[in-house]
Amino acid sequence: MTVQTRNLVARIEEVSLAFGDRVVLKNCSLDIVEGAITCIVGLSGAGKSTVLRLLDGLIHPQSGHVYVLENDLTAMTEEQINTVRRKISLSFQFAALLDSLTVGENVALPLRERTKLSNAEIERTAMDALASVGLGHAYNNLPAELSGGMLKRAGFARAIVTRPELILYDEPTTGLDPIVTKLITETILRLRQKFGGTAVVISHDLPSIFAMADYIAMLFEGAIIACDTAERIRNSPNPIVQQFLAGSETGPIPI
Amino acid sequence: MKTFDRVGRETNALFEYAGGLALLSRESFGFLFRLRVRLNETIAQCALLGVQSLVIVLLTSLFTGMVISLESSQQAVAYGFSSFVGGAVAYGAVRELGPMLTAVVVAGRVGAAIAAELGSMVVTEQIEALRSMGLEPARFLVVPRLLALIVMLPLLTVFADVISILGGMWIAQAYAHIPYDSFLTSVRQAIDFSDVVRGLLKTLVFAVIIVIVGAYQGLSTTGGAAGVGKATTFSVVLSIILIFGTNFVLSFLLFGTS
């Protein structure tokens, strides 16, 4: 299922992937539209995070192609993929900040390692990124000193600090209370407005998804079974999509 | 048939493991030779892996020197060879026990720490985060530890050599009434500078074994907290076995004709 109405930033084409005997993706295809927020939904264990990792080149499919910013990641070496990764950021489910560094040092890390900016410029840019997610005061804190929501926002700050063309958010609202979930959702929207770029979001949180998504793709049994604008997905005639959105136990999805 | 199948799989796993160690070594030394080293982190690791290991290395070496002296003094006094006790202690300490014991102690402390730290980073997705930022875990994490231990293990061994000889000298005097002068004369007659250097050369290899095994075990951790525990234990066990085996080969090559 593809959306081809606008320019594409990334495309997953006929990808199949299995971990041992467990088939995760089966001829899966997905287009990521430039400038849009695309949310990928699906059951737990459906392979949503795997799709994000494919887009970041962290894992490679057994067959098919993954195109990101006009590069075929499946045909590139790790060193070549690293050059593409300079334009992508992945925000992890549990932030994955390096616990030996302060929050500020974590956010500054991509700049320190990838750019030739002066220390002062790096610190100022990292502070700006933290301030944009409301964590300007946490620069010198260690990750262990932050709450779950603050950690996620610090992860966002690290993801946006290099102004990437594509940001991948892995379950940004999972495990958070409704207030922090709303705050995180608003942060993602505000970051998109402020810095532009394209975003792919993995989430189970339907209110949050409908609040931010331009496009929604549903992953089921290893393939994208529906991908369209948020409004069309809401009104999709597909019984699997409807059962998922309704959170119903009855329907074609095996429980 | 099942036996063949199992032997085949185990052999395959062994080669896969050895290949993994070789690839990590190649990658790490590649960064090292291209001078892609994080200097500040390397200095921090020197303190963490080296300086903080000093007390335990000194204690184990002190008691080892003392016990060698105790045993050899008993025999030496009984057979009238007390002037050779210093030589016996120094010979054993500088050529074999100093380098090997230091490496074993450091493998227990540092190898375990490296495996546990990197293993925890794997299960909390920190390693994946580094890769997603385009940063190579080998350059970022392994090279500073490797360079730090290559520098610090020989230094620790020098301290170990000295303290074990001093401990031996004290016991020889206190227990067998062997004068310090006589003990030191015997030390000078038994070993020369090349013995010290060859002993220290061995520690360079031991440093590589400790860091590469610890780092590889950590980086290939699977299975959450239990996996980190397994990685840590296996790292220490394998490092110690490899240190003993390599020590024999190196001693044969370095001291075999002298």
User: Residue A127: exposed, middle, or buried by beta-carbon count in 10 A (0-12, 13-18, 19+)?
Assistant: middle
Contact partners, residue A223, CB within 8 Å, separation at least 6: A25, A26, A27, A28, A29
Alpha helices in A29-147 (DSSP H): 48-55, 78-85, 103-114, 119-132
| CA separation for the pair A84, B56 (Å, rounded) | 47
Report which residue type is found at A62: Q
Tokens for B62, please give them. Answer: 């002190």
**How does residue A1 score in pLDDT terms, banded at 50, 70 and 90?**
very low
What is the arithmetic mean of pLDDT over B213-221?
Answer: 96
Which whole-number Å values give the CA distances from B126 to A95, A155, A163, B202, in the listed order?
Answer: 9, 11, 21, 34
Report which residue type is found at A118: S
pLDDT at B257: 63
Alpha helices in B124-179 (DSSP H): 126-132, 137, 143-176
pLDDT tens-digit profile of B119-138? 999 999 999 999 999 999 99
Which of A62-76, A208-222, B11-25, B77-91 has the least mean pLDDT?
A: B77-91
Which of A88-102, A112-126, A171-185, B163-177 has the least mean pLDDT?
A: A171-185
Nearest to A98 by CA among B181, B203, B127, B218: B127
pLDDT at B146: 97
- Select from A86, A89, A96 the Cβ nearest to the Cβ of B126: A96
Contact partners, residue B206, CB within 8 Å, separation at least 6: B99, B100, B103, B106, B107, B153, B243, B246, B247
Alpha helices in chain A (DSSP H): 48-55, 78-85, 103-114, 119-132, 148-160, 178-195, 206-212, 230-234, 239-246
pLDDT at B256: 78
- β-pairing verdict for A37-42 and A63-68: unpaired
Mapping DSSP to helix (H, G, I), strand (E, B) and coil, where does residue A9 land?
strand
Which whole-number Å values give the CA distances from B128 to A1, B5, B35, in the listed order?
Answer: 29, 34, 24
Question: Min CA distance, A251 vs chain B (Å)?
Answer: 34
Q: Are B68 and B92 in contact (CB under 8 A)?
A: yes
Hey, which residues does A218 pair with through a beta bridge?
A: A41, A226
**How does residue A6 score in pLDDT terms, banded at 50, 70 and 90?**
low
Best mutation target, A80, A100, A115, to test chain B (most B CBs within 10 A): A100
pLDDT at A200: 95
Nearest to A161 by CA among A213, A209, A97, A99: A97
| CA separation for the pair B88, B190 (Å, rounded) | 8
pLDDT tens-digit profile of B9-43? 999 999 999 999 999 999 999 999 999 899 999 99
- Select from B121, B131, B135 the Cβ nearest to the Cβ of A58: B131
pLDDT at B208 over 50: yes
Residues of B with CB under 8 A from a CB of A: 121, 124-126, 128-136
Best mutation target, A109, A152, A163, A165, to test chain B (most B CBs within 10 A): A109
- Select from B129, B135, B136 the Cβ nearest to the Cβ of A96: B129
What is the arithmetic mean of pLDDT over A30-47?
Answer: 92
A54: phi then psi, degrees, rounded to nearest 5:
-65, -45
pLDDT at B194 over 70: yes
pTM of the shown model: 0.87
User: Residue B11: exposed, middle, or buried by beta-carbon count in 10 A (0-12, 13-18, 19+)?
Assistant: exposed
- Select from A85, A96, A98 the Cβ nearest to the Cβ of B134: A85
Tell me what ipTM this predicted complex has.
0.87
**How does residue B162 score in pLDDT terms, banded at 50, 70 and 90?**
very high
| CA separation for the pair B167, B67 (Å, rounded) | 9
Hey, which residues does A251 pair with through a beta bridge?
A: none
What is the arithmetic mean of pLDDT over A47-61?
Answer: 94
Ramachandran sector of residue A27 (left: φ over 0; alpha: ψ -120 to 50; beta: rest): left
| CA separation for the pair B14, B26 (Å, rounded) | 18
8-state DSSP, A43: S
Question: Min CA distance, B63 vs chain A (Å)?
Answer: 35
A101: phi then psi, degrees, rounded to nearest 5:
-110, 155
pLDDT at B189: 92
pLDDT tens-digit profile of B220-235? 999 889 999 999 999 9
What is the arithmetic mean of pLDDT over A199-203?
Answer: 93
Question: Min CA distance, B243 vs chain A (Å)?
Answer: 30
Torsion sign (Cα): A216, A218, A224, A228: negative
Tokens for B225, please give them. Answer: 């907290």
pLDDT at A4: 46
Max intra-chain CA distance, chain B: 69
Chain centroid offset of residue B71 CA: 25
Q: Which residues of A51-84 are buried (b: 16+ CB within 10 A; e: fewer)?
A: bbbbbbbbbbbeebebbbbebebbebeeeebbeb
Nearest to A92 by CA among A174, A34, A192: A174
Q: Are B173 and B89 in contact (CB under 8 A)?
A: no
Q: What mean pLDDT, rounded, does chain B reach?
A: 93
Question: Min CA distance, B54 vs chain A (Å)?
Answer: 23
pLDDT tens-digit profile of A145-195? 999 889 989 999 999 899 999 999 999 888 788 888 888 888 889 888 888
Best mutation target, B37, B132, B145, to test chain A (most A CBs within 10 A): B132
- β-pairing verdict for A63-68 and A223-229: unpaired
